[in-house]
């Protein structure tokens, strides 16, 4: 019987290693300097890269973080400081609901609300859709980290004459900051890989764009459109893009993991 559980454990850990190995095998050869700096080329021409897609991912993460981080941290502060109240319970519950929503539904909402009225796709719409997915994660991480700060710290500051707002922001928040940064990184790792919310908001773009008001490409969108295309050159670029994306997500996740572990010393499984 123990053997069965061991088999289950082996079967569960295999896919990750297998996919990682496959991506390296198929994608590493296309990871040239060109890949990171060139624009997509038309079919039939060799070379070409995903520079615009990578820039797009960076921009979308920046927009999403600019909205998602303040809102998430603010909401987390509220939840931590008003723990027992009914409003806090409702907000926490609804935050979990928001977290579990399919990303495509967030995408069609963003389309209906941000794209349809102005009749054009934009990086801003994509960034806001991603922010909506980021907020619950950051809120929860912030709330938990702030709750971990011992109340004696807060009380000492108050005893020394600090106003409450200053205690919360400069003492408590600063103490919890590493954990909050970790939570933010986990949220970034999650939205970096999202495609569905971007399909009808950022839409994708063949060309280099840094404008907030125009459609923009992103790594997941580019991988998707190359993967379903019938061209071999584009397939190998898709593998390379997937390798870059997975590496990005894994590195961020690893950094986040190790940061919390060393800080608090408790086992995260």
Partner 1 sequence: MPSTQLHGASVGDRVYRLTTTVFALTIPLLLVLLAIEVAVAAWPALKAFHFTFLTSSRWDAVEGVFGAAPAIYGTVVSSVLALVIATPLAIGVAIFLSEFAPPWLRQPVAFLVDLLAAIPSVVYGLWGIFVLVPALREYVMPFLADRLHLGNTPFFSGPAYGPSMLAASLILAIMVLPYISSVTREVLMAVPRAQREAALALGATRWEMIWGAVLPFASSGIVGGVLLGLGRALGETMAVTMVIGNRHEISSSLFSPGYTMASLIANEFSEATNDLHLSALMAVGAVLLLVTILVNIAARWLVWRVQRQAKS
Site for partner 1 in 109-138 (CB under 8 A): 109, 111-113, 132, 135-136
* Residue written as token pair 């004459």: 161
The one among 122, 184, 242, 260 contacting partner 1 by CB under 8 A: 242
The one among 55, 184, 185, 189 contacting partner 1 by CB under 8 A: 189
Answer yes or no whether residue 102 interacts with partner 1 by CB under 8 A: yes
Q: Which is nearer to partner 1, 210 or 216 (CB)?
A: 216
Q: How far is the CB of 258 from partner 1 (least distance, A)?
A: 10
Q: How far is the CB of 80 from partner 1 (least distance, A)?
A: 8
DSSP line for 94-108? HHHHHHTS-HHHHHH
The one among 60, 79, 171, 180 contacting partner 1 by CB under 8 A: 79
- The 150-179 contact track toward partner 1, x by CB under 8 A, reads -x--x--------xxxx-xx----------
Interacting stretch for partner 1, rule CB under 8 A, among 5-13, 28-36, 39-47, 174-182? 5-13
**Contacts (Cβ under 8 Å, ≥6 apart) of 2:** none
Q: Distance between CA 264 and CA 105 in Å, rounded?
A: 36
**Contacts (Cβ under 8 Å, ≥6 apart) of 137:** 72, 99, 183, 186, 187, 190
Q: Distance between CA 188 and CA 249 in Å, rounded?
A: 8
Count the neighbouring beta carbons within 10 Å of the beta carbon of residue 246: 17
The one among 28, 62, 83, 170 contacting partner 1 by CB under 8 A: 83
Q: Which is nearer to partner 1, 17 or 44 (CB)?
A: 17
Q: Binders of partner 1 among 30-59, rule CB under 8 A?
A: none
Interacting stretch for partner 1, rule CB under 8 A, among 4-12, 44-52, 174-182, 207-215? 4-12
Interacting stretch for partner 1, rule CB under 8 A, among 48-56, 58-66, 176-184, 189-197? 189-197
The one among 103, 205, 209, 260 contacting partner 1 by CB under 8 A: 103
Helix ranges (H only) for the chain are 2-27, 33-37, 51-81, 86-99, 103-110, 123-148, 151-159, 164-166, 173-192, 196-199, 219-227, 232-264
Tokens of 129: 């859709």
CB 242 within 8 A of CB 57: no
């Amino acid at each position: 019987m123990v053997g069965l559980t061991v088999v289950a454990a082996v079967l569960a850990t295999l896919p990750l290693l297998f996919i990682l190995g496959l991506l390296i095998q198929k994608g590493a050869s296309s990871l040239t300097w060109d890949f990171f700096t060139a624009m997509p080329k038309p079919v039939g021409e060799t070379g070409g890269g995903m520079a615009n897609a990578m820039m797009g991912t960076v921009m979308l993460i920046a927009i999403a973080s600019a909205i998602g981080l303040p809102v998430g941290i603010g909401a987390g502060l509220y939840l931590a400081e008003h723990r027992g109240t009914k409003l806090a319970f409702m907000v926490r519950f609804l935050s979990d609901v928001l977290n579990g929503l399919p990303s495509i539904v967030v995408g069609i909402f963003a389309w209906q609300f941000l794209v349809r009225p102005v009749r054009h796709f934009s990086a801003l719409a994509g960034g806001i859709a991603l922010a909506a997915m980021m907020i619950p994660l950051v809120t929860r991480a912030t709330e938990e980290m702030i709750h971990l700060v011992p109340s004696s710290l807060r009380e000492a500051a108050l005893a020394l004459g600090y106003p409450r707002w200053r205690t919360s922001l400069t003492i408590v928040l600063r103490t919890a900051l590493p954990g909050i940064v970790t939570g933010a990184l986990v949220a970034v790792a999650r939205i970096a890989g999202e495609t569905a919310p971007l399909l009808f908001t950022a839409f994708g773009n063949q060309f280099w764009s840094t404008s907030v008001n125009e459609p923009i490409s992103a790594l997941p969108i580019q991988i998707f459109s190359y993967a379903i295309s019938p061209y071999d050159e584009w397939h190998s670029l898709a593998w390379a893009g997937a390798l870059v994306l997975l590496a990005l997500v894994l590195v961020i996740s690893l950094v986040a993991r190790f940061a919390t572990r060393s800080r608090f010393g408790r086992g995260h499984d």
